[in-house]
Copies of this chain bind each other. A is one copy, B any other.
Amino acid sequence: MLQDLCVANPAAGIKVNGFACKPDTNITAEDFFFAGLAKPGIVNSSVGSLVTGANVEKIPGLNTLGVSLGRIDYKPGGLNPPHTHPRATEIVFVLEGELDVGFITTANKLFSKSIKQGEIFVFPRGLVHFQKNNGDKPASVLSAFNSQLPGTQSLAMTLFAATPEVPDDVLTKAFQVGTKEVDKIKSRLAPKKS
Asked if residues B119 and A4 are in contact (CB atoms below 8 Å), the reply is: no
Asked if residues A86 and B166 are in contact (CB atoms below 8 Å), the reply is: no
Asked if residues A15 and B4 are in contact (CB atoms below 8 Å), the reply is: no
Contact of A61 among B17, B22, B124, B177 (CB under 8 A): B124
A33-64 interface with B by 8 A CB criterion: 33-35, 37-39, 46-48, 54, 59, 61-64
Chain B minimum-CB-distance residue to A68: B91
Residues of B within 8 A of A117 (CB): 38
Number of copies: 6
Asked if residues B14 and A118 are in contact (CB atoms below 8 Å), the reply is: no
For the complex, give the distance between the alpha carbons of A142 and B119 in Å: 12
Q: How large is the interface on A (under 10, 10 to 19, 20 to 34, 35 or more residues)?
A: 35 or more
For the complex, give the distance between the alpha carbons of A158 and B87 in Å: 19
Considering the complex of A and B, which 10 residue pairs feature the smallest CB-CB distances, nearest first? Answer: A86-B126, A38-B118, A144-B144, A176-B188, A81-B174, A15-B21, A32-B122, A2-B18, A67-B146, A146-B146
Residues of A bordering B, CB below 8 Å: 1-6, 9, 12, 14-18, 20-24, 27-30, 32-35, 37-39, 46-48, 54, 59, 61-69, 77, 79, 81-82, 84-91, 93, 95, 100, 102-113, 115, 117-128, 130, 132, 134, 142, 144-149, 151-153, 155-167, 169-170, 173-177, 181, 184-185, 188-189, 192-193
